[in-house]
Amino acid sequence: MATRPLPQASTKLVAIQKDLQQLASMAGFLNSAIDLPQLRLSFTLYGRVLVADAAEGLAITPRLQAWSDRLAVRLREDSSAAILPPQIQISAPQPLPNGEGFYVISTLTFASKVTETGYQRVRNAVLAAYQAAVALREKGNWGEEPGA
């Protein structure tokens, strides 16, 4: 009985995997596996807000939850539901290592499967989500303004 060689991932699928890993390095990380003919993806995205003290951190938690919920809906809509509903976890306020304030983190974990021909919607949705997380972390932009 002759053994068949294991199917190899196409060059394009490997390139897609690398592209999405670069996007994820913006504000989170990506675990991925090639499961021919598709790429299985599990993303983690972090939205972080700096605050003066723990009380302000607790007060901002509902706003961070609302931001996370909007981002989750946008991920689903922008990917045409190729991204499964994200799991959202909001941390308790944590002191900064230098003691000059606190931070609160929203963690969104979401998964998708991508084929060579259908990855662009997922890529664009993920890129927009990671950009929103970077804007929140670096500029305090909650994305609530019209057109944001």
- CATH number, domain of 99, equals 3.30.980
Confidence of residue 148 (pLDDT cuts 50, 70, 90): very low
pLDDT (tens digit, 9 = 90+) per residue, 86-136?
999 999 999 999 999 999 999 999 998 888 777 899 999 999 999 999 999
Nearest-angstrom CA–CA distance, 122 and 119: 5
Confidence of residue 71 (pLDDT cuts 50, 70, 90): very high
Number of folded domains in the chain? 1
Please check whether residue 53 is in contact with residue 101, taking contact to mean a CB–CB distance below 8 angstroms: yes
Domain residues for 132?
A: 11-139
Task: Centre a 10 Å sphere on the Cβ of residue 19 and count the other Cβ atoms it contains.
Answer: 14
In a domain, 85, yes or no: yes
| pLDDT confidence of residue 6 | 52
Looking at residue 52, the DSSP 8-state letter turns out to be S
Above pLDDT 90, what percent of the chain?
Answer: 51
More confident site: 67 or 117? 67
